[in-house]
Each structure stands twice: as C-alpha cells, then as structure tokens.
Amino acid sequence: MGSAYDAMWERLNLDLNAHAALLEVLGKFYGDIYLSQQGRLKGMEYLDFVISEIHGLRIKELQEAKSQGRKVVGTFCVFVPEEIIWAANGIAVGLCAGAEVGRDKAEEILPRNLCSLIKSFVGFKLARLCPFFESCDLVVGETTCDGKKKTYEIFGDYVPMYVMEIPQMKQEADRELLRKEILRFKEKIESFTGNAITFEALKKAVKMLNDRRRVLQRLNKIRRNHPVPISGRDALLINQISFYDDPERFTQQISKLCDELEERVRQGNGAVPESAVRVMISGCPMAIPNWKLPYVIESSGAVVVFEESCVGSRNTRDLVDESAETMDDLIDALVDRYSRIDCACFTPNEERIANIISAAKEWNVRGVIHYHLNFCQPYEIESFRVEKALAREGIPFISIGTDYSMEDVEQLKTRVQAFIEMISA
C-alpha cells in the first residue's frame, strides 16, 4: 500500500502518519486472516487487489469523477436507495466503520456505551483516517436505531448530513411514509447534483444494482454445495467490497469468480475440508475490516456458509421489480423492495425469524451463531426471540456480543469452539 497516494491523502487532509500506521496494521491483519488461507481461488486476486487499493486507487477514481462534476454520496445502511444516487450520475459509497479507530476522539462527543460501528465512523472522521469521508459531498444517514439517529445530529457538525426516516412498522401508513421519504431523497439528490432523474436513468440504475444483487445471490446459492467451494471469510469480503467498488466492474469480476466456483463444485473441491461444520452468522452488519468472528469460527473447525446480515443476505435477497413503465411505478417498486428488508429496527419482525429458519434449512447449517455489537439493542433484544424460534426448530444457537477490540478473542474462541464441538457431536 502506497506512498504513491500521499499527495492525494494530504490534499484530503488525512492524518498521514496515523493513516500509514493504520494501513500497515490492516495489511498485516489481512495477510493473517485472508492470504494465509490454503488453495485460494484465482478470482480472489481481484478482491485482494481492491482491498490493497481501497484507500488508494478507489479514492483516486472518486476524485477523478468529482473533478468531472460527479457527486460522491456516502451511506451507512442498506436502507438508503442507492438507485437514486446513481440515477443522478452520483456515486454511492459505503463509509469506514469497521475498525476500532479514533475511539478516544469519538468518546469526547458521544457516550461510551455505544456500539463499535457508530464510534468507529465518528472516530474515522475525527481522526482524519477515512478518505471516503473526505471524498463525500454528502453523507446520508437513516433512523434505523437510536444510536445512529441521535449520533447523526452531532455528526452533522463535522460532515454534510442528510437523514432519511425509516418507519418502524410495516403497515400501509409506513409504506406511505417510506414512499414520501424516497421521494424527498430523490428531490434532495436532484437538487444537490443538479441532475434531474429521468425514468430511463433510474431504470438503468435499478438494473445495475439488481445485477450486483443477482451476482451475490448466485454466489450465495453456490455456497449451498457441500463441500462449500469458498470460505465464509472470502464470501464476507466480497459482500463488504460490494459497498465500495464500482458496481459494474464488481458484478463482472464476481461473475467470473462464480464461474470458477461452479467449476470447483463440478470437481467436488471444497475450500475447507469436507468435515468442516456448516454454520450461519446472523445479526449485525460486519464492515471492513471486521473479520474477527468469522476468523474465530473458521479457525475452530467450522465454515460460514451464510451471512444473515446487512452485509450479506439482508442486502442481496430482494430485487427491485424491473417491469415498471412509469416513474411512479418505479418508485413503487423501490418502496416494495426496501420495505421487504427484515431489519431488527421493525416491530414486529417475524419475517427475519422465518428467513433465518428457511436459510438454515436451505444452506443446511448445523448451527446459527447470532452476532450483535455490544449496545446494539435492536439485534441483541431480538436475539432472544430468534433463539426461542430456532429451539422450536431444533437448530442449535449461540449468541455472541462483541465489539471491535481484540481483547475478547480468546474468550470468543473458547465459546465458539465449545459450540462447534457441541454441534459436531
């Protein structure tokens, strides 16, 4: 990772020394967790490259696009309808939120008892370590949890914020609220980018993002095979990178990788020994480089074959209907699609429990590892109902609460290993 970008990072007002140190740590971490895997897929070379250039070449691309008048819009959540951003010739990117960075600075303006993800994005910004934040013309938040909702009010002093309201139930009135919020967002993006969104442009963006979802669905389906031809870590990484990379290029590359995976399946080659215990991770999103739990699981004789997560199936399961013939119908199709997200922010949220059970069966997992960030009340509280529902189905379950520090790795290993032994028996 390179000093070739130092001038750009300096222009973006990053803390160069701290940033260099961060990249070094992350590079080593990536080496340990990813590059150490045996019999790596050829197609993962692209992902290795993207990761190595995520603060470099990708930022350079964003800067070049900006110099041509395009706007970069940062998002934190799968509820923000990216289609709107791309249709206005903007670029949607995920933001840095997966590492324990700038925590002390974040805790000067926020409580300590907040989830790592929130403290991380605030910390990345305050410590000047995220070139994505510095490239953003607008940051779009949403009201999916109390922590983010109230943090955005404070964060608005540091970045240009726009907040979208997400309803908390799924009644007809909520659908109307979401529809109005999508239209308000469309107006905001149009006036902000100066580009009116045409039906054709929105339809094209819908298709482009559906293509990205379709290739991730294809990847996920391949993972139903046993032995599974790709590790959970690699699959997670692909899902993570989908939030940062150029969508068309990403889709093309992952499509090639899927060809390679299908070939592996034909040959009966697994990424891990056939004896590896198939498990699902379910719960909170895992942003780059939050690979701790998957690594602990896959070092314990198991393999993750499904992520029931915003960085996983929650983001890719549902497509936008492409058959709309008017703008109104296309907006309705967006509302339909985004209304189907089974986030713990909804009450009730029975769909999520049903979706976990059906995925557990279809992906033939031996157990569900429920994962929440400490202080994430929606997912932590919901885990109690998930546990009960899985018990009724006879599916083993363990609940893991953690954060971004490395302090609990040994404890996690002990718990995860005991769980995996139990379900292998």
- Residues lying near a second copy in the complex (CB under 8 A) are found at 109-111, 113-114, 143, 145-147, 149-154, 163, 165, 167-169, 171, 173-174, 176-177, 180-181, 184, 344-345, 347-349, 374-375, 377-378, 380-382, 384-385, 401
Query: CA dihedral defined by 78, 82, 84, 87, rounded to 10 degrees?
Result: -160
- In terms of CB distance, is 9 or 346 closer to a second copy? 346
CB of 383 to a second copy, least distance (A): 8
Nearer CB in complex with a second copy: 53/174? 174
Q: What is the DSSP string of 52-114?
A: HTTTTHHHHHHHHHHHTT--EEEE-STTS-HHHHHHTT-EEEE---SS--SHHHHHHHS-SSS
Q: Which is nearer to a second copy, 171 or 405 (CB)?
A: 171
CA nearest to 365, candidates 411, 396, 330: 396
Under a CB-based contact definition with an 8 Å cutoff, are residues 204 and 182 in contact?
A: no
Tokens 């292998």 correspond to 424
Angle at 245 between CA 244 and CA 250, to 5 degrees: 140
Q: Which of 150, 218 has the CB closer to a second copy? A: 150
- Between CA 301 and CA 297 the distance in angstroms is 7
Residue 217 or 374: the one with the smaller Cβ distance to a second copy is 374
Nearest approach, Cβ of 179 to a second copy (angstroms)?
Answer: 9
User: In the bound complex, what is the minimum distance in angstroms from residue 392's beta carbon to a second copy?
Assistant: 13
Bridge partners (DSSP) listed for residue 75: 94, 140
Q: How far is the CB of 283 from a second copy (least distance, A)?
A: 13
Query: Minimum CB separation from a second copy for residue 393, in Å?
Result: 18
Q: Name the one residue in this structure whose structure tokens are 């034909």.
A: 266
Smallest separation (angstroms) from a second copy to the CB of 165: 5
CB 252, min distance to a second copy, A: 39
Q: In terms of CB distance, is 134 or 382 closer to a second copy?
A: 382
Q: 9 or 375: whose CB is closer to a second copy?
A: 375
Q: Could you give the residue ranges of the DSSP H alpha helices within 242-349?
A: 247-267, 292-298, 313-316, 327-339
